[in-house]
Copies of this chain bind each other. A is one copy, B any other.
Amino acid sequence: MHQAELILFLLGIIVAAKVAAELCEWLGQPTVLGEILAGVALFQIPAFREAPDHEAVRFLAEMGVILLLFEVGLESELSQLLRVGAQAVAVAVIGVAVPLLSGWLLLERMGYPTSEAVFMGGVLTATSVGITARVLRDLRVLRSKAGQVILGAAVVDDILGLLVLAVLVSTLAPKAGPSAHPAVLVGGAVLFLLGSVFVGMRIAPYLMGLVRRMRAGGTLVVAAVGFCLALAYLGELLGLAAIVGAFAAGLVLASTEERVPIEDKVKPASELFVPVFFVLIGMQIDVSVFNPFNPANHPVLLLALALIAIAVPGKLASGLGAFGPGIDRLLVGIGMVPRGEVGLIFATIGLQSGLLGRSVYSAAVVALLATTLIVPPWLSRRAGRLARASDPAPAQV
């Protein structure tokens, strides 16, 4: 019966996601918003409530976001990413520094202990590249200059976020943290990214040459996904997210002759599993804390509103790091706003290590979710307006 339950969960998730995405498409809203809301709705059905507790469902979601970032890497171009590299670093640094400092100051002013205030600042530094990459991709502006700046900045943000988390945990709660020195962690992450891309570029042609000589069926998809999983695993081992490794793998394979056949092969699997990731984000949103008519929610909601009031402008400011002709700084800033699952993981580490109290944690979760929900429609409206302004080339933002 256990396998039957898992089949039902997967069935419910993919069908609800597709129906909601279709509704959003008709309403002119981003489909990823529909998938997240499908998760919120599904969680209200008792039969599906346990789905996120199952290892198999969580792993399918993880596979979904890994495949998404792999595809995003496949659609990117290393030369273009390097060209916007300086901007991406500037955007990421502003996008980490401003939320960190403003979150810290806000909570310190409100009378929270310094350690809790600093850690909350850290929670607000994360950027969820998944949400933004998905929206940009659906709008077909991923390969635009702004798209590549956001993408590069989100990857740099992941490394800076790792640094912030490592420093905060090792100084504020030494027992809960990773044992390695922060500098070692960050050095490892940077080496991994550069190494995997530049070593990968040399290995990939041989790998693909080998694939061409294979006789058994299905070799290309196994080689491509295997390469992606190998770098995802290495990324996770080094304390970076698996998705950074998957992105690097896509970037490497994008330089091979098999780019297009790989995209074609990966697409159906990603169409099945990417929505699982976004539905699961939705299933983790406890909408009852948003209810303003329940007085018990008021303190949490007020703190959450204050956090949103600094979290959103704090990331919008990061757009100021972008420069050059024709780039829209507001678009870049909006793209950096969603915290998604990255911020949630950060906050959960704070709760578990005792650095964040339960009410602060709840407020952080509300604020993080709000940043996640507002971005898809906002980003698509901004991109649409820019596209209309620069007609007749809608893909160039």
A19, chain B: closest CB distance, angstroms: 9
Verify B31–A216 contact, CB threshold 8 A: yes
**Contact between chains at B22 and A221 (CB < 8 Å):** no
Chain B residues within an 8 Å CB radius of A63: 10
Report if A215-B7 is in contact (Cβ < 8 Å); known contacts: A55-B55, A269-B272: no
Tell me which of B31, B62, B230, B272 contacts A11 (CB under 8 A).
B230
Tell me whether A266 is interfacial, beta carbon within 8 Å.
Answer: yes
Does A203 have its Cβ within 8 Å of any Cβ on chain B?
no
How far apart are the CA atoms of A120 and B243 in the complex, in Å? 49
Answer yes or no: A236 CB below 8 A from chain B CBs.
yes
Interface of A is mostly: helix
- Enumerate A191-224 residues with CB–CB distance to B below 8 Å: 214-219, 221-223
The smallest beta-carbon distance between A158 and chain B, in angstroms, is: 16
A window 333-374: CB within 8 A of B? none
Chain B residues within 8 Å of A215, by CB: 22, 25-26
- Closest B-chain residue to A61, C-beta based? B3
Residues of chain B within 8 A of A21, CB atoms compared:
216
Number of interface residues of A (CB under 8 A): 54
Question: When A11-B230, A55-B56, A215-B26 are in contact, do A4 and B236 touch as well, CB less than 8 Å?
Answer: yes
Contact with B along A50-73 (1 / 0, CB 8 A): 000011101110110010000000
Partner of A236, one of B3, B15, B60, B275: B3
- Taking a contact as CB atoms under 8 Å apart, the answer to whether A25 and B216 are in contact is yes
A173 part of interface (Cβ distance < 8 Å): no
A17 to B214, CA, bound (A): 13
Check if A237 is an interface residue, CB within 8 A of chain B: yes
Which chain A residues numbered 1 to 38 have a C-beta less than 8 Å away from chain B? 1-4, 6-8, 10-11, 14-15, 17-18, 21-22, 24-26, 31
**A222 with B18: CB separation less than 8 A:** yes
Select one of B3, B58, B222 contacting A242, CB under 8 A: B3
Contacts A25-B216, A56-B55, A216-B21; A233 near B4 (Cβ below 8 A): yes
A interface vs B, CB < 8 Å?
Answer: 1-4, 6-8, 10-11, 14-15, 17-18, 21-22, 24-26, 31, 54-56, 58-60, 62-63, 66, 214-219, 221-223, 225-226, 229-230, 232-233, 236-237, 242, 265-269, 271-272, 275
Counting from the closest, the 4 A-B pairs by CB-CB distance are: A218-B271, A56-B59, A4-B236, A11-B229
Supply 6 further A-B pairs (C-beta < 8 A) apart from A4-B237, A266-B268: A3-B62, A6-B62, A7-B236, A18-B222, A218-B268, A269-B269
